[in-house]
Structure 1
Amino acid sequence: MNSGDFVSATRWTEAQLQRLAWATLLLSFTICVGLAILVPWQILTYLRTSYVGVQTRVVALSGILRLEHVDREPLAITPGNPYSRLTESDLLITDAQSQGLVIFSEPLSSAPQDLAAVQIYPNTQVEVRRARYPRFGISPEPARLTLYVRSGRARVIRLEGRRPLELAIQTPHGQAEVISGTLAIEVQNDRTDFTVRSGEARVGTSDQIRTLKSDQRARIELNGRVESPLEAGRNLLPNLFQTPLPERNVDEPIPPNQWAIFTFVKQPGESPGTVAQTSEAGRRALAISRSGFDHAQTGVFLILNQDVRDFRSLQLHITLKILFQDVAVCGVVGTECPLMIRLEYKDINGVDRQWLQGFYALGEVTPQTPESCLPQICPPPYNVHLRVPLGEWYTFDSGNLMETLQAVGAPPATLTRLRIYASGHSYSVMISELELIGEE
């Protein structure tokens, strides 16, 4: 190679090096700009989309609640022993004698708000498919809760949390999104019934979605056909948790469909107790309390004057919590339960009758503390007082009262008055989700 060729080759190499330097500089600049955009974007994405599991509380209200998970041994949840480690893919199973309650709450908070409550009825299977809450407070994302009801009956209550909630219920036949209020679900082999007891829900399949309001029902069949809106029975009671309640004598005539507070004290001068609207962890409630030494009653009542002779079904639903009672069970004659429901009516012969149901949390049934109101004090039917967990929300459904009262020879013709009250010496209770569903 002569010297000219060497100089030419050297110059070519210098040009290549210059191009390489520019390419490296441009690439470095591009990478720098990309990192300046990508790293903050990744951080913001993480802050936005990072989730943690929600806080849970599983309570067996009666019988044994079975919990299954693919990677763990089955677990038995018994009354009085709440379970707080529910995770995604957990399956809750009840048998004919058991029912449970699941409360989903905000995590990472010293005073968490409840997001939703799920009542699981007997012979039901519910799987938790998603239960997530944004890890960081600056995230605009909603909390997400998805439940799969394989079979049986459940009731889902959407509560008033601090963050938006996507609450979805899936079944083998379709799905529902609970927008607000309460949704009842019943899954059978060939269909699912979604019933909005209050609020609003969107119900359907991937092909068709229907919006339901209070007291409307949708049925999704095995072939995916959606029937809605269907009659779901109507709530005969006005809202108990909206307006301030006046105080009245229980025998004082007041307009129908207007709740009022009533009190009774055996010894003049003692405290009559208090009734106050309140909220607890996102749940509207009515708090009834009293501290005293002798017998008293504190509660609310409603004049109904509702003809039910053409009704085929009448069912009372209530959610309650007993916080304190000082009389064991329901007292010596069975009339001092910390919470009592008294539905008064006239039968088809015009005779005044009543249906009475008591609830208690403390004490054991003995000859001195009977399991129901004594026959010399109360007329039939003699409903056994129900023991509920102390300090836990408990959901009660009466069953079809038209059939119950017909069976004891006292079918109702006109509902006259409903009382819900605490009875005893000292007590503290709360009630929520009060409904009297009638179907004609």
Structure 2
Amino acid sequence: MFDRVLIANRGEIAIRIIRACQELGIETVAVYSDVDADSLHVQLADYACNIGPADAAHSYLNGKAIVAAAEAAQADAIHPGYGFLSENADFAELVTKEGLAFIGPSADVIRQVGNKDAARDVMRSAGISMSQGSDLVDNLDNAICQAESIGYPVILKPIAGGGGHGMFVVNNQPELHQAVRKYDASSLASTPYYFEKYICNARHIEVQIVADNFGHIVHLGERECSLQRRNQKILEEAPSSILTPEMRQKVGELAVRAAKSIHYTNVGTVEFLLDCGGNFYFMEINPRIQVEHGITEMVSGVDLVKTQIQIAAGHQLTFSQADVKLNGHAIECRINAENPNANFMPCPGQIDFYHQPGGPNVRVDSGVCAGSVVQPYYDSLITKVIAYGKTRGDAIKTMERALGEFIITGIDTTIDFHKNVLRNPQFRMGNVDTQFVYKQMIS
């Protein structure tokens, strides 16, 4: 096992990794930008290194500075968390070239799944269904031709990247013109993009996989991630309320097949769209821990962060697919520093008062406390609340209680938004899809 791990991240995920390391008897090294010097993750780690100014490009995205910090701190390994450099193959390669362990899949695997076009080719060869897609698009005329060939609506996607960034759904040619102009004006303009047939009323279903370095791959069930704003998740559940046991077995087997087809190792997520006819369509593989990993931990009893570290240290999985037993239901609400009434505009600033919920079956993963400053330079996620119950109804009731106890002042948050979601009759019946937030919650 490692003696010391550097965490190349910040906020709640850095704290989550610190806690896992502490329970494994591993020392931790936090990294921080100039504005994060007093952050909670810095205070909780055994050691801390400044890696640059507030701008993430010169700190949390500066791979060389992070590796230098790890070497100076005599760390054995680097955990990237999610976001930032977690899906950067060049960073993973740099880490291993310097003799450190990268707690995640190999650089080759990250490259393979990071190129969506190449990943689709591999999945197609493995016999995994996906929505009809285009060739790479490089100009408006080509875009019009391919969109008409596939048939509207279509969704434009950058060939690389994730987190829902740079995606545009278009229903006709005028909207296509507008989307391409937006794309060309964005920072993603240098990244090729392609089309997929847009599946209306789809549900976003993802499967958690775990794979060691000895060929053992298991899945830990699925998560329902259909509640999204700006193509980014805001509330997740495990398991999905729509899947039958037969559908659950099918999508789990598809996820394992997808992972095997690229010789995947460590923890990852295979994402699918589910249409109204019960058909699954491959979307992508995320080669990292997910924000919403906690709900899978609650229903499976598997600590995914510890498992990541153990696999990277060369340990075999201690359980097989037959050993996996999923129990109960878990819901996660992402508490973001955002104003839902202003299209979820980020709301940075200082937290004046902070009281988080507790009690039976409530878990809170937070990166802030009273007096913390939510910086404008980074993601707006500040806390995750997870509620567990024997049934979905029990989990909803527990989450309602938890959100009722949660008090944050000084900034706008999504707490009240989540309260409204939980009261929504369609949500309570499990009638959700990827457009639920905009159809049901925003007029």
- The interval holding the TM-score normalised by the smaller chain is under 0.3
Q: Report the TM-score, using the length of structure 1 for normalisation.
A: 0.28
| Greater RCO, 1 or 2 (C-alpha within 8 Å, sep 6+) | 2
